[in-house]
Amino acid sequence: MRPEIHWLLHFCLDNDLLTSGQVSGIVSNLNPSTDVHACSKLLSNSGWIQDSAFLDSAVEASIQNTQDGFELPAIPGITTDAPLLQDGVGEFPDFNEFDGLNDADLRAAIEQVFTSCQQMGASDLHITGGARPRIRHHGRIIYLSNAPLPDAIARRINLSLLTEAQREKFEAEWDLDYALSIGNTSSGSTMRFRANMMEQKNGISAVYRIVADHLMSLEELGFPNADNIRKLLTYHNGIILVTGPVGSGKTTTLASLVNELNRTRKDHIIAVEDPIEVIQHSQECIVTQRQVGKHTKSFHSALKSALREDPDIIVIGEMRDLETIEMAISAAETGHLVIATMHTRDAGSTLNRILDVFPPSQQNQIRAMTSGSLRGIVCQRLLPSVDDGVVLACELMVNTTAVANIIRDGKDTGLDTAMQSGKKAGMRTIKESVQALLDEGRISPEVAAENM
């Protein structure tokens, strides 16, 4: 059963619109290929649920919750288990044996887990007390063991990866964000992970985001309009934004853009990240990477300092607050090329997010500044493909004269029209990208419908 349908049935059950018996009957007779829209129509046609407005909103919420990766809620009589890792896929050690390992053997076993995650293309590894160890692979949760990890073992695994300073900080604050490097003795290289660790009701919990082991080109990432994106990198001032929901590959795209600049220009690049995920070695450019919390106290203080460090290009790992956004726009106006990421779904919501953080008295000024300094917005999503992988859907907005006028005048409703008529500049909407993937047979009609 698809997770969207699981959410839909949960909402119906939670609002007393279906009984447990009705839910069990639906599930037992449901065709595996049925999508959430067909299930909603079935509920309506059967007469069990006559509130069409509720069904529409429940379907939308179900799709959104699935895309955001929320854990499926419990429904009586229905299992929410993700599949167990199949034999022969990855060489993962037996977590049941971790308890008897000494420190050296435990470290070796952990490194094997990380190596297998990277080799099979997993995006995240979860090590949590009271829960089964699991990975996320192409957006799906897959368990690595049948048994939950006792908190004592999960705590020993996670804490063994920390330095003494990191351990002290975690024990004092009960939360920790850090970048993890692990030596891969078989290849002579190192693996890098973005880690988050926290305390929760069942004990310790940590998630390790696997960083790609090599820098990829825009073409390798799946951008069909890579040359149009490269044109944005030829500017010597202005701001370029890379946006998308959590887990959409923004960091990987940002690293690819920096690598492109590093190879083709002779400039000073200052990157501020939290934490540093992809190491960029100076090539034609001088690359300075700073980590928030380790090399600087905040994005804002790092940007303020960066302007005195003779930068040509400033890279911001994430624009989160008013001060950072204001500083980025100002730097873009004063002769620097700024590249940053934001958690927004498309070009329109990105522009709204930038404006909404400012008080009303400043918004006209910010509109004018943004219309002049913005170079382009790259929005991306990773969609499940028909071959059980993921494919990139991307939107590109280039700041043409028409777009600049829309931003300055606040006529956001005309943005889609301007983008559709800006194909010569390489512009495309997310809907056009999804439609192209559907036409190529790379995604299913259900996935297309959820993302149009």
Over residues 239-251, mean pLDDT = 92
Residues 25-65 pLDDT 10s: 888 777 766 788 888 988 988 888 988 899 999 999 988 87
User: Residues 6 or more apart from 369 whose CB is under 8 A from it?
Assistant: 329, 330, 333
b (16+ CB within 10 A) / e for 365-377: ebbebbbebbbbb
Query: What predicted TM-score, i.e. pTM, was given to this entire model?
Result: 0.75
Phi-psi region of 405 (alpha: psi -120 to 50; beta: other; left: phi over 0): alpha
pLDDT tens per residue, range 218-234: 999 999 999 999 999 99
Question: 313-316 and 268-273 as β-strands: parallel, antiparallel, unpaired?
Answer: parallel
Taking the C-alpha atoms of residue 209 and residue 386, their distance in angstroms, rounded to an integer, is 24
CA distance 349 to 357: 12
The pLDDT-based confidence of 186 (bands split at 50, 70, 90) is very low
Which residues lie closer than 8 Å to 337 by C-beta, 6 or more apart? 233, 235, 236, 237, 238, 239, 240, 312, 313, 314, 375
Going 30 to 34 to 39 to 42, the CA torsion angle's sign is: negative
Measured from the Cβ of residue 167, the count of other Cβ atoms closer than 10 Å reads 15
The pair of three-digit structure tokens given for residue 393, joined into one six-digit string: 């859907």
Q: Using one digit for the tens of pLDDT, what is the confidence trace for 97-126?
A: 898 899 899 999 999 999 899 888 888 999
Write down the mean pLDDT value for the chain.
Answer: 89
